[in-house]
């Protein structure tokens, strides 16, 4: 591991001159993996200036050549998937299989970016008026930036910069300061793929560096994934500075269980979707809504959750790893305590879990509450830990009303064997991503990641066709060529084409 994380500026991996650093800690044992420098203002300026200069030549590179470079990058990612995943495991605490999944879901977005020639095709109509044709072209914006969270240090950077760069933009990436080694490995592979110097820049830091990007006049678009309060700040500041902004923020995802569903499928999927990755997924299921008699499955669900044991990244028997930080663990423990105080029934309590081999790890065991009410703190806040809340309603209509009254709208799912129930649910639910017998309905990259309401700020979502629109501007050309010898007409005093 690196003792000090470098910056990636102007196509070179360089040591920051900044003396302000943050520790990159292994959440299993608190071992320091590296020091993370907070880039100085001059280094931030250098990153943006380099990206701006590189844009002038990169935007002229033919689209098929951009795609070929992206294909080289794609192959390098596939060849190094295990190596990236191991680094990811060390700095996030994810078990190895989950870390590989993190990398692979990012790889899938790069596969999508390789199809950029067809994704950037415009539109043409001949003879919109006599001898007048109209065409539209998709052209890159300029310098774009991405601010990514700790929970997916491979996947989410790969949501952003490959598509932006394939569209002809240049990009400044500010990854999470809690796990920067993974994105730096990815940046090294990007460099190895042969992209021109300056097309991608990687800087490190905290809010100070984020605010620099938000306020810099040469940044045209900002992509962000993270907590709701930070997302609100980024959206307000970025749009106030006339930037395009897309912010994927908080969530409170519900899974509705109908009595006619397959009980074993329900329990297996609820266990994995609620405590997988220690619940640190924006699409994790944190609320199980049991309709009618399906509440009778609660004891079996508790039993299966109780069998899941946290552990280190290379422990094949571990269901998930530690939380990312001491502070994150303390927050989850506090919320569990708050749930107990407010009258929820804690039927499975993982607050006191400790790993015998790694007593200093940020551990929280699987936890489940029943009897949860909508006015309780544990329901209103995103816990972001291995905590599942169980609620009961009488009808699917009540379940839909409950979910639609929640301020977040990232993801939801329904488990049922009824086509009518599924049709009703997917039509009436006010949530952007809906799973039918699929607990975590994250779409593949040729669709877009479409959270709604307070889970998203902006108008064009991540990856898929919407991301291509987000990272490009449309130029419309109306043309007319006069025939040789054509007699000129008098002035046209109307707005009508003729």
In sign, the C-alpha dihedral spanning 176, 177, 179, 180 is: positive
Determine contact, residues 411/418, Cβ cutoff 8 Å: no
Closest CA to 77 of 156, 176, 154: 154
**Catalytic-labelled residue, pool 38, 114, 282, 346:** 282
282 has catalytic annotation: yes
How far does CA 167 lie from the centroid of its chain?
19
Helix, strand, coil distribution of the chain in percent, nearest 5: 40, 25, 40
Q: Are 66 and 168 in contact (CB under 8 A)?
A: yes
Phi, psi angles (nearest 5°) of residue 357: -85, -25
User: Exposure pattern of 174-197 as b/e (b: 16+ CB <10 Å)?
Assistant: bbbbbbbbbbbbbbbbbbebebee
How is residue 216 annotated by DSSP? -
Look up residue 50 and give its two tokens.
């380099």
Query: Interior CA angle at 113 toward 109 and 119, to 5°?
Result: 125
Q: Is the alpha carbon torsion for 448, 453, 456, 458 positive or negative? A: positive
Active-site positions read 282
């Amino acid at each position: 591991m690196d003792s000090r994380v470098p910056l990636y500026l102007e196509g070179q991996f360089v040591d920051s001159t900044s003396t302000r650093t943050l520790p990159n800690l292994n959440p299993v044992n608190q071992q320091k993996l590296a020091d993370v420098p907070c880039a100085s203002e001059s280094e931030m300026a250098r990153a943006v200036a380099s990206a701006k200069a590189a844009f002038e030549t990169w935007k002229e590179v033919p689209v098929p050549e951009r795609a070929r470079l992206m294909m080289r990058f794609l192959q390098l990612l596939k060849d190094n998937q295990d190596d990236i995943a191991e680094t990811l495991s060390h700095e996030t605490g994810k078990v190895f299989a989950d870390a590989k999944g993190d990398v692979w879901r990012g790889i899938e977005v790069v596969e999508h970016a390789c199809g950029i020639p067809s994704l950037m095709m415009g539109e043409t109509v001949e003879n919109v008026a006599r001898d007048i044709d109209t065409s539209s072209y998709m052209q890159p914006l300029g310098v774009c930036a991405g601010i990514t969270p700790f929970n997916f240090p491979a996947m989410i950077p790969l949501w952003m910069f490959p598509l932006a760069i394939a569209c002809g933009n240049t990009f400044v990436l500010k990854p999470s300061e809690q796990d920067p080694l993974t994105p730096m490995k990815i940046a090294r592979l990007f460099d190895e793929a042969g992209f021109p110097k300056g097309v991608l820049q990687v800087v490190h830091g905290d809010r100070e560096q984020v605010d620099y990007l938000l306020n810099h006049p040469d940044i045209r678009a900002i992509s962000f994934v993270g907590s709701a309060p930070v997302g609100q700040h980024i959206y307000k500041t970025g749009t106030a500075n006339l930037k395009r902004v897309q912010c994927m923020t908080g969530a409170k995802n519900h899974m509705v269980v109908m009595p006619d569903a397959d009980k074993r499928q329900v329990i297996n999927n609820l266990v994995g979707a609620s405590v997988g990755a220690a619940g640190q997924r924006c699409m994790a299921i944190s609320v199980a809504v049991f309709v009618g008699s399906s509440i009778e499955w609660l004891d079996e669900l508790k039993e299966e959750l109780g069998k899941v044991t946290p552990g280190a990244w290379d422990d094949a028997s571990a269901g998930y790893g530690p939380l990312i930080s001491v502070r994150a663990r303390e927050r989850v423990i506090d919320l569990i305590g708050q749930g107990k105080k407010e009258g929820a029934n804690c039927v499975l309590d993982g607050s006191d879990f400790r790993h015998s081999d790694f007593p200093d790890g940020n551990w929280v065991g699987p936890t489940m509450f029943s009897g949860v009410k909508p006015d309780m703190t544990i329901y209103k806040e995103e816990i972001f830990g291995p905590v599942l809340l169980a609620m009961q309603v009488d009808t699917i209509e009540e379940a839909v009303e409950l979910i639609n009254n929640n301020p977040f709208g990232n993801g939801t799912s329904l488990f049922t064997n009824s086509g009518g129930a599924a049709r009703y649910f997917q039509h009436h639910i006010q949530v952007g991503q809906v799973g039918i017998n699929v607990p975590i309905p994250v779409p593949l990259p040729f669709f877009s990641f479409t959270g709604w309401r307070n889970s998203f700020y902006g108008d064009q979502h991540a990856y898929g066709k919407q991301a291509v629109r987000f990272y490009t501007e449309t130029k419309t050309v109306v043309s007319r060529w006069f025939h040789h010898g054509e007699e000129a007409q008098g002035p046209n005093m109307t707005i009508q084409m003729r």
